Copies of this chain bind each other. A is one copy, B any other.
Amino acid sequence: MTETNLATDAMTGTHSGPERTSQDAIETLVEEIGQRAKEAAQQLAGAPEAAKNKALAAAATAIRDRKAEIIEQNQQDVEGSSGLSAPLIDRLKLDESRIKSMATGLEEIRELPDPIGQVMAGWDRPNGLKIERVRVPLGVIGIIYESRPNVTADAGSLCLKAGNASVLRGGSESFRSSSAIVSCLRSGLGSAGLPEDSIQLIPTRDRSAVGAMLRLTDAIDVIVPRGGPSLINRVSSESRIPVIKHLDGIVHVYLDRSADPAIARDVVINSKMRRTSVCGAAETLLVDKASADSLLPPVIDALSKAGCEIRGDGATQKIDGRVLPADDSDWATEYLDAVIAIAQVDGVDGAIEHIGRYGSHHTDCIVAEDANTVSTFLGAVDSAILMHNVSTQFADGGEFGMGAEIGISTGKLHARGPVGAEQLTSYKYLVRGSGQTRP
């Protein structure tokens, strides 16, 4: 059973296809996809920048041209997903404006500098050897994500920009939408003379395909899971392939006794309420107990007026009657909603300790004017992104000036923080000489 047959079956709505495929057939199918990806990656590694950019432009055009078809497939996805909650349905849904911005996204990635071939460092040795460290693609990247069809376009095209082949496995509820989008990306590749198998979607909804992907040690070089803790945990424990983790963002804002009250209020409100569903949204507010009585009331008032539910420890509840009791689980929860938990701590050391215990190594912020305190916080907190007097909603590859990203890595190996095209690369050393031998 070929990919095309499966995809066609799924897209035409017949039920002879993916759902009935046996485990062995899925294993074989995924292995074949991996093999094709590996071959495509070898060609892609040497592809000129112009060809990759032509493929991205053609894919954007195809997405615009075929928007009616994509919307139709998406409507079928939405109709088949009645079990999903309203926010998840919202993530799944595509309309004209979302399709437009997907196409624009491809064009923005086209505009990024090509990282491949960049000389990252170069030096000469006393014996005349000339050494360079040069950026190369990673190879084949497996991406496992939830039912957000736009991730299909983002992830596939970002991998392509960095010369990597991708094997995409989107949430099963978005299968038809993702298939239609991948079809546009592949036609872009074809029209640029690049192998269409540079971007492949696992052509079955069967969940065992994920396990099969995680066993493809020979074909997939790195797995990027995007999704909730259960997906990340499954991938981390099952995968034999290195994983770039995107764990949840239990993001803290700490208000020090030296904080400027206006900055404190503005940073907290924006960090929490600008968009509550992003991983850089603040979840916990820590306040130096030495100044809680003065710093907190205007912050709580503004949060409350903005529609935020406020939970807090005992001392914070005493400050304002609108503060509901927080229990221990609140400190470890990523609400992704208009809810915040407030704890009073014993100065910057107390904040560092709290974050060390409950944090997720994503993004944490201090609001303070005292330089020593700021330096202590930035040095001691072990997170991918540390901020000072800035809204945590800036935790984003685009806001960092890195262009598109496929997420924020909370691991320390290979890539930490925003994962853009540059982070999807490796390097090799070139050593040039004139016949030198080692004594």
Q: Which residues of A contact B (CB under 8 A)?
A: 42, 45-46, 123, 125, 129, 131, 136, 138-139, 217, 221-222, 236-237, 240, 242-243, 260, 262-263, 266-267, 269-270, 274, 356, 378-380, 382-391, 393-394, 399-401, 411-414, 416-417, 426-438
Whole-angstrom distance between the alpha carbons of A384 and B399 in the complex?
A: 33
Given known A426-B416, A428-B416, contact A45–B382 (CB-CB < 8 A): yes
Q: Which residue of B lies closest to A265 (CB)?
A: B435
Q: Which residue of B lies closest to A386 (CB)?
A: B430
Whole-angstrom distance between the alpha carbons of A382 and B38 in the complex?
A: 13
What would 18 more interface pairs be, CB under 8 Å, given A46-B380, A129-B394, A388-B432? A45-B382, A131-B401, A138-B413, A242-B243, A266-B437, A384-B429, A385-B428, A386-B431, A387-B431, A387-B432, A388-B433, A389-B434, A391-B437, A394-B438, A413-B414, A414-B414, A416-B427, A417-B428
Most B-side CB within 10 Å, residue of A138, A393, A438 = A438
> Could you tell me if A412 and B45 are in contact, using CB atoms closer than 8 angstroms?
no
Report chain B residues within 8 Å CB of A129: 390, 394, 399
> Could you tell me if A413 and B222 are in contact, using CB atoms closer than 8 angstroms?
yes
Given known A237-B240, A266-B437, contact A221–B390 (CB-CB < 8 A): no
Q: Which residue of B lies closest to A400 (CB)?
A: B131
> Could you tell me if A267 and B432 are in contact, using CB atoms closer than 8 angstroms?
no
Given known A131-B400, A387-B433, contact A413–B221 (CB-CB < 8 A): yes
Q: Could you give 26 example pairs across A and B, Cβ below 8 Å?
A: A42-B382, A123-B401, A125-B400, A125-B401, A129-B399, A131-B400, A136-B382, A138-B412, A237-B240, A242-B242, A260-B435, A266-B435, A382-B428, A385-B429, A386-B428, A386-B430, A387-B431, A387-B433, A388-B430, A388-B432, A389-B433, A394-B431, A394-B433, A412-B426, A416-B428, A417-B429
Whole-angstrom distance between the alpha carbons of A417 and B379 in the complex?
A: 29
> Could you tell me if A400 and B429 are in contact, using CB atoms closer than 8 angstroms?
yes
Q: Which residue of B lies closest to A390 (CB)?
A: B433
Pick from B382, B401, B426: contact of A413, CB below 8 A: B426
Q: Which residue of B lies closest to A356 (CB)?
A: B42
Whole-angstrom distance between the alpha carbons of A389 and B430 in the complex?
A: 11
> Could you tell me if A267 and B386 are in contact, using CB atoms closer than 8 angstroms?
no
Pick from B379, B390, B416, B432: contact of A436, CB below 8 A: B390
Smallest CB separation, A361 vs chain B (Å): 9
> Could you tell me if A389 and B432 are in contact, using CB atoms closer than 8 angstroms?
yes
Report chain B residues within 8 Å CB of A125: 399-401
Q: Which residue of B lies closest to A222 (CB)?
A: B413
Report chain B residues within 8 Å CB of A430: 378, 386-388
Most B-side CB within 10 Å, residue of A399, A427, A435 = A435
Whole-angstrom distance between the alpha carbons of A390 and B438 in the complex?
A: 9
Smallest CB separation, A380 vs chain B (Å): 6
Most B-side CB within 10 Å, residue of A221, A393, A401, A412 = A412
Q: Which residue of B lies closest to A264 (CB)?
A: B435
Q: Which residue of B lies closest to A384 (CB)?
A: B428
Smallest CB separation, A246 vs chain B (Å): 15
